Structure 1
């Protein structure tokens, strides 16, 4: 096994300041470079935390606890988290062992973190990582030295889909922010196993973004590897070809490999989330419905480039010496497989929308109408039905698909899937119940319901979405059609930028471009 340090921001966590060469396997300690005096006040604070935090964490239903001891400037902040599938006794024993181990490995260092198979411990001179901070300042990955020897591309895609399914479950379906997964491979390895976990104090959206950020690095850095982990204080993810967690998997995926050898498009896997066998079987028959949600971040991690800008849009934060660039999925075949994995059967969408009944119409724009729908699993969706006379051609459609699938932010609408059957061109998005901002702003009665606090929140959310598009995402994107009708509002009136059909990818240092026609708003 190898540990790799990947710094990602200038204001890094002190615990990540040094990279340590450690023995194969757990534990993995990482030490900062700030020290404290022996037998001083900070040591007393550490001793107190060591005596109380393991007990508090193991007694918590989330197997998680924090401790704040003393006052600034020698205040200690500590956090202990155990893996969600272990019992309280094992949690207590792991964290009890972690304190002396970490102090031994990082002698008189006041910023340190140690990762075990079943728990992690972090302490620092102050609280550097509050629950609201979902930006992983420094991450580490651990990988096996063994690579897949046959059908590596299929294995990598399976791992990506499985990891995203597991991350979705951890963020949205578990109060512990913890999930395990299992998928069939059916070739060199019969099974692949996964795990995703966040600190329980994180909100679902924060947890999902944290895991997506880690997985985008992990699936790039661990390409073709049979197993590995991505470690950060607020979230971790892992996959292996052998079982490593207790109990049955919370998420189960069928194989991505087609049963017949004919070169047909790769079917998307069926997602079963701890459901009875009969329901799981039914879910597998509707294979494309559940997995499309997962393909959004899969495309981010695969770094697909449908517009031939692969060398330009790689805007990344600074990281450790880039002597060994990781391979990316950039071939046309990979692009097509990504599109196939997001396909939804047209009959499913017709049933979901009542055959595009007028009563389900949410609105209509220059490219076509949008309908509300309900999938068989109960998920609400918005289906953008491009009209036959739409000026948005196939290239613009691919542009929107490529862009939205690669972008992941709470202020951007989430693409769920696509359908290109029976002369239909359908884009499927998450359903945003309060519809578009223009319906409120330009209605004399409804706009009175927006107080200035809500207006400020909406403005701030749109700005955050644009900041992500322009500076913080892997792609540098200019929307070119930002207007009130393309800002959707969720149940909590949080804004989500939508409609990327006219968006433009910019290069890393590019600040302007020339268009061949007048477009946008």
Structure 2
């Protein structure tokens, strides 16, 4: 099957077959014309042939003859599948029936996930619909240089194509040039999976470099590994592009590398290094190629194929000089080929890049001063109080900022720069040497409880990345200081704006902004509960822990009380209840039971507060005769709930959206934890008006003081 691709000016050829036993195999086709060949690889990257074991041309031809013979012999048993661009992969684990609950859940995701991905700054999102065994988990990822409209169109098309390509398969993936879509009946991107995940596709352009192929491969290896290094360690989106000069035949080489944004730098580097080491040698002297995986992928060409300027640029080594000496990535052995055309060493880290100007040198120097480690003479800042796990230590170590930098940034913690004060210490505004505004949380030296909370917050937030979570920039643990450095969020916390008595502040929050805050908090919680590498229960969700950026986008903060759950863990029990009255679920306050459903209760309280502009149990409000949950429920029963909408909006709101939000809020504060929806369902309910919502039951618990933070022992016998 041939088809012209204008961007690479090459013809495509695809071949795929399946043996009668169901065992998938791979064939690299050497087309008589310039062609791209695609190969379906196994799910385990260690099964790929290393570069040192690349086949010679006679062996390739012999195996091709054997492969063709196998297909001919099996033709009566098989229905061969011709795979064309885009590239689908259909899992064989299980299937679903037409018009089943699974298909309905898949349709719900098709209506919401493309919008969520295209609206995300990382162009990545996941979602879950339904309950086991008919639950559907899906992820969408668009290429980092793709704009939102193309991303939306690509994933919308993917949801149309994939069910047809993989009819009734519960597990399926499809790769396009701008996007990837994957759905399954299980959460397939496990936290400890740093490989490409499931199946990978290898696509190669069989036009070859003829002028100096050995130098081309050395340059490609150096550029690819520099691109991998940038994607893993210098991009929060885990995306990078590269460019290098070559020769007159092919003036430039272009590269691209990308990981799932939720991966840590170490996970991304390991994933990309694995497929580079396993597959780059297979391209030999080809002028283009790509390896596509769900967790990570890369591509190279001799013609431009990405948008915008390259993020990494390398100069070509001289034709008579060897490539720069580099070391293989940590955890990945160097792959070395013997003598012969197209065989080379895979370089994994580029240690030196010549910077073009003195200004760039100065910027790098300032950056290094900011991120340098503390002197050896000083203890590495009480690392003994942290877990000894290697990954945690590496994460902390990579984020260290020296205390002198933070003293200078905050005016030596000047009182005029104080933003506020919490139970563990104060928060200061500062400006780093590079001009970035920051918020510095300073642990009080007299606070023993604060040490535990800071340790917990550091170990959690360093591993979490989402646009609706406050971003951790760094940490300082020297000179008896314990400091966390966050992005500066200019619009303060939600409670200060929502409940401020001045009309001017209330006018800042129109209905569109309030609805955006509600959906943003829900997406942040969905990430914590279901989509991140850790399953996290926050335990202290309240309006004062929701920060608002310059565009009034919400960011969940303060993870000092948060706890990590196992992926299949449903609840935990504590003998010491900590949190804030008015936001705590009844099962947590009375019995110490907490779970994602107790977070859902806190979220439901905030939804009702945002819609009404009232605190739960606000005795200072003359219009509030009882706690907010009781008041909303009574009006819901009477059909007059829109009377509770914050009057400061002047009646300018969408009634349908208001009713939907109140319905969702009441569902979340139901007395039975099992009846409360999970956050992925909440996001789905808020994102579409085509789904009929359940009628809520009466809230089972009413708190009396919303402003009081408590810490108390409870009896577990109840």
- Calculate the TM-score normalised by the size of structure 1: 0.54
* Residue 91 of structure 1: aligned partner: 151
SS at match of 1:450: helix
Q: 8 Å contact 1:22–1:28 — kept in the other structure?
A: no
- Contact 1:184/1:191 (CA < 8 Å) preserved in 2? yes
Report how far residue 5 of structure 1 moved. 2.3
> Do 2:219 and 2:323's aligned partners in 1 also have CA atoms closer than 8 Å?
no
In the alignment, is the contact (CA less than 8 A) between 2:255 and 2:298 conserved in 1? yes
Distance 1:337 1:2 in 2: 22
Q: Which consecutive unaligned segments of at least 5 residues does structure 2 have?
A: 1-35, 48-77, 355-361, 395-474, 478-718
Distance 2:345 2:159 in 1: 50
Helix, strand or coil for the counterpart of 1:238?
strand
Residue pairs, 1:68-467, within 5 angstroms: 68-137=128-197, 138-258=199-319, 263=320, 265-266=321-322, 268=324, 295-297=327-329, 303-304=335-336, 328-329=337-338, 450-451=384-385, 454-455=387-388, 457=389
Residue deviations 1:5-32 (CA, integer Å, cap 9, x gap):
22254999xxxxx9985445x3110111
The count of residues paired between Structure 1 and Structure 2 equals 323
Aligned counterpart, 1:421: none
**Aligned residue in 1 for 2:40:** 5
Call closer, same or farther: CA 1:219–1:296 in 2, change over 3 Å. same
TM-score by length of 2: 0.40
Aligned equivalents of 1:337, 1:209: Cα separation in 2? 15
Structure with greater Cα Rg: 2
Deviations along 1:280-323, whole A, 9 cap, x unmatched? xxxxxxxxxxxx6x65349968613xxxxxxxxxxxxxxxxxxx
In the alignment, the residues of structure 2 paired with residue 192 and residue 19 of structure 1 have an alpha-carbon distance, to the nearest angstrom, of 40
Supply the distance in 2 between the matched residues of 1:159 and 1:375 (Cα, whole angstroms).
Answer: 28
CA distance in 1, matches of 2:227, 2:381: 40
Kept in 1, the 8 Å contact 2:287–2:301? The answer is yes
SS of 1:182's partner is strand
Taking only aligned residues, the RMSD between alpha carbons, in angstroms, comes to 4.3
Q: CA deviation at 1:330?
A: 6.1
The structure-2 alpha-carbon separation of the partners of 1:54 and 1:131, relative to structure 1 and needing over 3 Å to count, comes to farther
Aligned-residue offset at 1:149: 2.2
Q: Which residue of 1 aligns with 2:103?
A: 43
Runs (5+) with no aligned partner, structure 1: 13-17, 269-291, 305-327, 346-373, 382-429, 463-490, 494-521
Matches within 5 A, 1:1-40: 1-9=36-44, 21-24=81-84, 26-33=85-92, 34-40=94-100
Distance in 2 of aligned mates of 1:217 and 1:19: 30
Q: Distance in 2 between matches of 1:375 and 1:160?
A: 27
Distance 1:7 1:248 in 2: 34
Distance 1:460 1:54 in 2: 33
1:159, CA displacement in angstroms? 1.1
Quick check: 2:233–2:265 contact (8 Å CA) kept in 1?
A: yes
Matched with 1:58 is 118
Q: 1:124 to 1:431 in 2, by over 3 A?
A: same
Judged with a 3 Å threshold, the aligned counterparts in structure 2 of structure 1 residues 450 and 298 are, in CA distance, closer, same or farther, namely closer
Cα deviation per residue 1:448-507 (whole Å; 9 max; x = unaligned)? 9725x634x259999xxxxxxxxxxxxxxxxxxxxxxxxxxxx999xxxxxxxxxxxxxx
Written as runs of structure 1 = structure 2, the 5 A alignment for 1:498-509 is none
**SS of the residue 2:267 aligns to:** helix
Q: Tell me the CA shift for residue 113 of structure 1.
A: 0.4
Cα distance 1:93–1:151, how it changes in 2: closer, same or farther (>3 A)?
Answer: same
Q: Secondary structure at 1:2's aligned position in 2? A: strand
What SS does the aligned partner of 1:30 have? Answer: strand
